Amino acid sequence: MSNSTLNPVTLTFASSELEKKFLESYHQRLIIRFRWALLLGIFLYSAFAILDSVSVGPLWPKIWFIRFAVVNPILIAGFLLSFKRSFFVRRYQEIVSLVVLAAGGGILAMLALIPAPALYLYVQGLMLVVIYNFTFLGLRFVRASINGLLLVAAFETVSLWINPLPRAVFINNNFFLISANVIGMAVAYYLEKLNRDNFLHGISLRKLAEVDSLTGLLNRGFFMDEVKRFLTGRRQNEGLAAFCILDLDRFKEINDTLGHIMGDEILMNLGQVIASKMRSSDLIGRLGGDELGFFFPEVKNEADILNIFMKLKTEFQTLSQGIEWPVSFSVGCLIFGPALDDLFQCYARADRALLRAKQSRDFLVMIDSQERTVLERRL
């Protein structure tokens, strides 16, 4: 199953990492909408207190207690929690569900207390909560459906046993409440699927903008921007990092002798090996032609870097065995501490190390920030 395949029932991605990224992105975008929707909900929930004062007689203090001492504080707490951004994003579904169930539970508590005929007016409030549950608040299909079923079950309990409704009124209210839930479930399913499809589409567009189509590595612009961001964000107490440039040996001769299609195949093989072997924290991009850039934000020592390129060479040559040409590469590396944070200087120094490595071919030359030779080794 593809990592981007959706479960047709729960609408979750097969890849847990992709699911996590979607939910984080989705909840981040929902925060502002949630705040405005909840402020409107609090206003309406409070404004309906006018109905209490003219329809429930001496029961109005109890109804107002439910509105203003129980439900509204929970809604306000949910609103305030939205400003604890990281926590709110992680617990969005749970917090919003609590808000919905608190609002619906408050109306059900009123239905349990109010006598007929005023009782018949309050089920419409439950319908408004159902609408909120399935639309404005951005709850996932599964979560919204569970909330809706809980509200329906609670309504059945109140209307049959706690404060029974006349049979005709009970059937009528049930018909509309259940219908609203069925329609709401269909809407929630459609909206979540649309959001997930848009998320995948956005990833595809970003990938086109960030990734080199031939090698599958980062393109030059995005690679350089990311390295610059890492360099400017490094702290003084951080350890060693490395910037390296890899260049295929005699690549022009390969293109001239075997053709550009074979040259492209070699580059694709190299990109495939790199993608399968490198750490997720490392940045690798195609700088142009047959030159690739590597940025390692965390390295233990020079031997760590040498081992990486030795393994890459072994895998690359294994994958390129069918090519009638000796394929090899040379690497120039700069290993440095947090004091060096200029991208141009890193690039220029690594490039000078590469020029030395290219003179011998199939070589790695590593220098430090003072351009002193740290390591020279055939790969």
C-beta atoms surrounding 276 within 10 Å: 10
User: How deeply is 331 buried, as exposed, middle or buried, from its count of CB atoms within 10 A (0-12, 13-18, 19+)?
Assistant: buried
Is 217 within 8 Å of 275 (Cβ atoms)?
Answer: yes
At residue 268, the 3 state secondary structure works out as helix
Determine the pLDDT at residue 1.
42
* Residue numbers of the chain with a pLDDT score lower than 50: 1
Instruction: Give the per-residue pLDDT at 338.
Output: 84
Which amino acid is located at 182 in the chain? V
What's the pLDDT score for residue 314?
A: 87
> Which domains are assigned to the chain?
16-208 (no CATH), 220-378 (3.30.70.270)
User: How many alpha carbons lie under 13 Å from residue 196 in its C-beta half-sphere?
Assistant: 23
Instruction: Tell me if 53 sits within 8 A of 23, measured CB to CB.
Output: no
Q: What is the predicted pLDDT for the residue at 111?
A: 95
